[in-house]
Structure 1
Amino acid sequence: MSTNKTARLHRMVMEKHVCPYGTKSKWLLERHGYTVDDRWLTTREQTDAFKREHDVATTPQTFIDGERIGGYTELRAFLGKPLPDKDSTSYKPVIAVFAIAAGLALAVSHFAFGNAVTIRAAEWFVAFSMAILAMLKLQDVEQFSTMFLGYDLLARRFVPYAYAYPFLEAGAGILMAAHALNWLSIPVALFIGTIGAASVFYAVYIQKRDIKCACVGGSSNVPLGFVSLTENLFMIGMALWMIFRP
């Protein structure tokens, strides 16, 4: 990559505030082979004057070959790495949950039995996934309940269930991880998993609705569909396994 490319970057670097987008812009430019003329805006007055001069609302601002590229978002687009649309759907959050749960399950199994791949690791994977997903929902129960009411069949008829769901999922997951109070955790997991699976199947495959899932919290952009159904089938499968396992 050529090393004679230059860019001028104006960003806020103050005693009590260093703009994170400015720092990321500088790193991104350098990563793409630009020599950065890094110009600091060190006071609020200097920043406001810069905005007025260039008729912009925000900083940082990047200039390349005398042309203003724009802020961090515009710079990423210019460099061929546009940020995803904030309203676009993505499975990344749920993939991250399942990956971390799998890693934890394998690690604990290796510690407990000297072997990462065991039946107990599979049980822990499901239990840890339930607990992590519940934790994400519990970050904002109000927002979660609003999204959940958009498709859950029971919550639509009994609103308190939407608020109780993440607590039920967390409790069942934690108890199942410990194999404690099976008389409580198994029916809870079986109940919420069955209702959840039926709700997702009805909304996605019968009504053909294109909506977002509340499975990783109320602010997620995970589409309601196969992955959402899988979460509930995991709970059902775990409950049935614990009932009928040898």
Structure 2
Amino acid sequence: MTTEVRDLTVSGIKVEVVRKDIKNLHLGVYPPHGRVRVAAPLVISDDAVRLAVIDKLGWIRRQKASFAAQPRQSQREMVNGESHYFLGQRYRLRVHERDAPARVAVRGIASLDLFVRSGTTADQREAVLLRWHREQLRALIPPLLEKWQPMLGVQVADWGIRKMKTKWGSCNPASRRVWFNLELAKKPVQCLEYIVVHELVHLLERHHNDRFAGLIEAHLPQWRQYREMLKKAPLGHEEWQY
């Protein structure tokens, strides 16, 4: 597929324009700093892109302000007392050094126990926690797929979990493969369900158009509430790039 990438500045806002073999123009604002990206058909001129951006300036500025106001965690040091999130709940990390296999356990409603061998680095400790996050998502996602696939009349061929820079999920309708962002383990479970539905609906409608919004609205009327929960939940420390 032919793809052309260039930057434009519209009313003081830097816009990345990606031209490719598509039929419609799509505009998005992405975390963590509100990067603006336009995916446009190859035949659309710069002036047409500028007009499309100007038409959405109010919405773009609101999105950028929302990202700027969103709480953000600092780089995690993986030490006692540090705050970590799991399914929307904040926990205090308790590190235990023991000569045993590494593991993670939730203690009560406020503590997250991390068991590691003596001398492990912060990166190694974080890797243990991320592996645990992945295991939790692997247990949480199948029941949601089993619930929503028959309701929507779709079936994924495969799904997976990975760290993603700008999206909470992605879907390839052609291969019917769905990916979920590992960061979803930190968010409320309702947010995970919203992303599951969102990606499954892409098997019915590839684009974020009126039909797509109508399908989500019909099956998950609370989706806007869940999306706002996702926006308000603290972002990780990563410097995400599109």
Shared fold, TM over 0.5: no
Larger strand proportion, structure 1 or 2? 2
TM-score, normalised to structure 1's length?
0.24
Larger helix proportion, structure 1 or 2? 1
Structure possessing the higher radius of gyration over alpha carbons: 1
TM-score, normalised to structure 2's length?
0.24
